[in-house]
Amino acid sequence: MGRIVVISTGGTIASRWQGSGFAADADGREVMATAPLPEDITVEVVDLFSVNSPRLTTAHQLTLLRTVHEVLADPDVDGVVVTHGTDTLEESAFLVDLHHHDPRTVVFTGAQRPMGTADGDGPANLYDALLTAANTRGLGVLISFAGRVHAARGTVKTQAVALDAFADPSKELLGKIGFGKVTMLRTPLRPEPLPLPAMPELPPRVDMVMHHADGDPVLLNAAVAAGARGIVLIGTGAGNATPEIVAAVKEAIGRGVLVALTTRVPAGPVTEIYTHGGAVDLVAAGAVPTGTLRAGQARIAVLSALLAAADPAEQARVLARALGTQDAALVQA
């Protein structure tokens, strides 16, 4: 079926007991040794790094992005699997998807239970990811976990410890895996991919600020004062806050800060319904609504926009493109 390259980055799938808790310390070859290979698949391993995914930095993620592109520069490669910690998998997968212009599939997977445990889920997840990478095309970046296939865009970690850890709360399941077969149920919609960004000496700071009862602009203003070039405002409901936060957003945008608006509600789109500090006013102030993308992926979209352009107006246009909110931006993969 094909030649698959596995890029190992750590996470629970590569974790062992450290005396007081689990941490990633196994290399990719050790991880691969735990899993059976689907028939007619050959595997090569790239040991990129081995860290717990909460410790990932923008530099780690951009290195992963460039490594995927370097691997796919070889026409004899049929697909890529990335083993990754589940805590920030949704962010890294979405970053790669934003810049993925190749018909060959990149599949992210990981585990909720450490390697070597009797009930570990890593081997089965890795087998399924290899099968998916070898048998799908033109779908962008996917997440394979617990016998299910998800599009990178919109998929988030929905369970802290349960094995079926990922879902897109706003969309139906993309595909499923069973009895050695991958069945796709629909085709995901993806915007045109962004160009591969340069590796900056110092990545731009992008912060997230959540609104809540009694919320005020203190943390948003602090992010601007700390040098944030981008901010994701996590509103309530369909993307709402207060008039005071609207004023702070308008001031931040006036200073060249790129602001995206999402919501803390698990499912459904940011929608301009309410004024008096709601999404109507926030969008009018210049915040870019993120549709159904939630905070972690909205932050990645802002980061990609900042890396793509220097002019604030162009950054906002790139962000809209990354979010799929430009006219005719969404195309079938």
Residues 222-233 pLDDT 10s: 999 999 999 999
Known catalytic residues are 12
Alpha-helix residue ranges (DSSP H) falling in 51-146: 58-72, 89-98, 122-135
Q: What is the DSSP letter of 197?
A: P
> pLDDT at residue 111 above 90?
yes
- pTM as predicted: 0.96
What's the chain's Rg over C-alpha atoms? 20
pLDDT digits 0-9 by tens, 306-324: 999 999 999 999 999 999 8
Order of strands, sheet of 41-51, starting from the edge strand that comes earlier in the sequence: 41-51, 2-10, 79-83, 106-109, 141-145, 148-151, 175-178, 181-184
Sign of dihedral through CA atoms 303, 96, 125, 171? Answer: positive
Q: What is the structure's pLDDT at 204?
A: 97
3-state SS assignment for residue 18? coil
Please report the pLDDT score of residue 1 as a whole number. 60
Q: What's the mean pLDDT when you consider all of the chain?
A: 95
Q: Which is higher by pLDDT, 163 or 333? A: 163
